[in-house]
Amino acid sequence: MGAEARQDAVLAAARTVNRRLQQKLGCHDIGGDRKTPTWRARQEGAKYLAAGAFLALRNVAAQEDEVTWTEQEALEHLATLSVLARWIEQCSVERAT
C-alpha cells in the first residue's frame, strides 16, 4: 500500500467515525450512571481519545498534501479509529429532558 493510499484510508476511517458519532449523539446527552467512577473514566477517556484522533489523525490526513506514515503506522492509526468506533457503537444515548 502506497503512502497516498495509507493517508486516504486513515482519512476515510476518521471521517466515518466522526460522522457516526455525530449521527448517534445529535444534540443528546450520553446515558449511563454518571455517579460511578467507571462511567466518568470511560466518558473522559472516550472524549480525549476522540479529540486526539481527530486532531492528530484526521486533521493531518485532511490537511497535508502527503503524509509519511509507514504501513505499520497507518495500521495503528486505523486501529485507534476502530477502537473509537466500537466505543461509539457500544454507548447508549438518552434524550435530555
Give one word for 52, left, alpha or beta, with left for phi > 0 and alpha for psi -120 to 50. alpha
| C-alpha cell belonging to residue 66 | 502527503
Residue-wise pLDDT tens digits, 52-93: 999 999 999 999 999 999 999 999 999 999 999 988 888 777
How far is the C-alpha of 7 from the C-alpha of 4, rounded, in Å? 5
DSSP 30: E
Question: Which residue from 45, 59, 49 is spatially nearest to 14, judged by alpha carbons?
Answer: 59
Give the number of other Cβ atoms within 10 Å of residue 58's Cβ.
20
Residue-wise pLDDT tens digits, 8-26: 999 999 899 888 887 887 6
Q: Delimit the domains of the chain by residue range.
A: 3-94
> Quick check: helix, strand or coil at residue 84?
helix
